[in-house]
Structure 1
Amino acid sequence: MFEAQEAKHVHNIAQLTKRWQRTHRLTAAARRVLVNEITTLFEFKPGVVVVAEPLQPLSRQPVAELVDSSTYSKEELNAAIGHVIHILGLIVHYLGVKLPFVFFHKGISPYIRSASIRSRQQSRMPLFLDNKNLKRFTIGMAMLNYDIGYLCHTQGVDIPLHQIPNTLQGLMACCQSSGLGV
């Protein structure tokens, strides 16, 4: 009698495991579809600013060049960062990932802060650039890039430390991960 009940429980556990695995696969597929739709909605395409001229010796690879943000107006820069915040917020919502730093708005201005610090006033950093907050803005962007690196890690994407500042490349690598949503 005891063996029959045990066999029944083993069978029930096996059936439950099969259903859970199927649900997990469907959920992961749905998450991938949602993230792909976000990337098309924002016209999010991979790319690097490339210098047309010199090639690396012996490698025949174009040299990537850093973009000088001082050539763009603060409004353009802040709008682009706003889009990154928006897309990142949607992606983490769809994937169900809790980031180490959280975004919030005070009025129309976006900020980022640690999710664990109690003194929220002192830990918030602006994610907008104005004439007097360059140092705090730089820290805020580092926090944003850390969040993107963390998101990549949760999705099985390895971002080398020296590439963490490449905000859009990190986000795109995450969105193209084969393990996205798993």
Structure 2
Amino acid sequence: MNRGYRVAKHRKRLTRIKKKKKIAVRSVTMLLTSGPLQHSRKTIELQDAKRRAGALEAQIETMRRHLSEERESLRERRKAFEVRQDRLRRVRAQAVKDRRHWMALYDLTMPSTSNATLDSSIDANPAEATTDPFASLFTKVPDPYLAEAARLDRSLDKGQRMLAVELLFIFDLKLVRIRASSASFQAPGDGLVAHVGSLLWPTANEWHKFPADYVNACLGYALHLLDTLVRYYDVPLPFVFTIAGAETVIFPNWTRRRKEIVPLYMTDHNLDRFAIGLSMFNYNVLYLCSLQGLDIPLSMVSQSAMNLRAACLKSLPREASELRPYPPSTQFAHGFYEVVRHTLELYTRDPSIPSKATAYLRELRFCEDDMDQFEREDEEKWDIIDNEGRTVSFNELSE
């Protein structure tokens, strides 16, 4: 009995062991079969995670690039805004300056009471306002036409005057006061010196202190100003000049002969000929000032920039544009040889220049033209008879 009990007990135990073995075998089988699948699944998940991480990194890099571009764009916009702000400040400052400028022009060009009275008389009865002896020939012209013509004439005169004054601002032509202790300049009289462009115009007896480049620069500003001014005024000059840098020349308006072309550009080797060209330029300025009703003394011949400023500020008579180039009207008191004599005084440090300039004048043979009448007495000497009948010899130019 005990033996049968033990056998049954062993059988049950063996059955349990077999079940456990089956379960263990099943578990091992499941583990062996499910391991590669889980590994491959984890690998796929890891690859997906890496792919998503790469996409996120690319998005982050794109966002960083966009952010840097936005920062650069913002920096450029700030810079453009600052530029526009500075430009607006300059425009406002220029507007204030222009307003003051135009107010000064308005005060300068505002018609006076006498002009207003004359205009009203012309508008009321043009035939009575004029003193022309031939005015009766035009009595059939309606009054509105004469009034319109008078208005246009005043408008043209005002426009020319405003353009001439505007040239002073363009070329920065003004008068400045020089201290008495200045070693480079000696201002005449009241201490005022002309300032043209960015240079001070050399005063009398000071030209020899400045190099040729400085004198040429000052003269270049003045030539451009004179050329523009005569175009505004429509006034022919006695001496025509051509601005071409080192090839700048000047010659009489009544001739076109090549031998009478004079240089107007100073070098170290043409000081005598340049003095004659400078005399022609000074004569042009004096001639223009005389048409403006200005009486420039001979002591101010070399102050051409100051004389041009006076010509710009003076109103031009309407009949002046109809004058012939040469000879000038009898109201022009200065002769060309007087201008030459005073121009040569700028170079008194070199005693040979007046004699060389005299020989150059004799070589140019100005006396054979319409400028003056002459009588030839011998081969060494020429006698010049000016407009007043006074005899002037070439020897007087070198004294």
Same fold flag (TM > 0.5): yes
Any unmatched runs of 5+ in structure 2?
Answer: 1-135, 183-188, 193-202, 319-399
- Summarize deviations over 1:112-167 as a string: whole Å, max 9, x none: 11010241x12111111101111110011110011001111111111123322221
Going by fraction, where is helix more abundant, 1 or 2? 2
| Structure 2 residue 161 is the aligned partner of structure 1 residue 24 | no
User: Contact between 2:250 and 2:277, CA under 8 Å: does it hold in 1?
Assistant: yes
More RCO (CA 8 Å, sep 6+):
1
Q: CA RMSD in A?
A: 2.6
Instruction: Return closer, same or farther for 1:92/1:22 CA change in 2, 3 Å cut-off.
Output: same
* 3-state secondary structure, aligned to 1:12: coil
Q: Tell me the TM-score normalized by structure 2.
A: 0.38
Cα deviation digits, residues 22-70 of structure 1 (max 9, x gap): 11110111111111111101110024656359xxxxxxx6578635223
> Helix, strand or coil for the counterpart of 1:171?
helix
Map 1:107-118 to 2 at 5 A.
108-118=246-256
Identical columns (%)? 28
Change (3 A) 1:40 1:137: same
- Kept in 2, the 8 Å contact 1:152–1:159? The answer is yes
For 1:28 and 1:123, the matched residues in 2 are separated by: 36
Indicate conservation of the 8 Å contact 1:149/1:164, yes or no: yes
Q: Is the 8 A contact 1:50 1:63 kept in 2?
A: yes
The structure whose residues are more often strand, as a share, is: 1
Counterpart residue identity of residue 45, structure 1: K
SS state at 1:88 partner: helix
**Selected match of 1:85 from 223, 237, 259:** 223
Question: What is the aligned partner in structure 2 of residue 123 from structure 1?
Answer: 260
Could you tell me whether the CA contact under 8 Å between 1:50 and 1:62 is conserved in 2? Answer: no
Aligned residue in 2 for 1:172: 309
Answer yes or no: is the 8 Å Cα contact 2:165–2:312 preserved in 1: yes
Report what 2:62 is aligned to: none
Number of aligned positions between the proteins: 166
Cα pair distance change 1:13/1:166, threshold 3 Å: farther
Structure 1 residue 101 corresponds to structure 2 residue 239 = yes
Measure, in 2, the Cα distance between the counterparts of 1:94 and 1:163.
Answer: 24
Give 1 or 2 for the bigger CA radius of gyration: 2
| 2:282 maps to which of 132, 145, 150 | 145
Comparing 88-97 with 153-162, greater Cα deviation is found at 153-162
Q: Secondary structure, in 3 states, of the residue corresponding to 1:112? A: strand
Distance 2:140 2:147 in 1: 11
Unaligned runs of 5+ in 1: 1-6, 54-60
Equivalent-residue separation in structure 2 for 1:116 and 1:63 (angstroms):
39
Could you tell which deviates more after superposition, 64-73 or 16-25?
A: 64-73
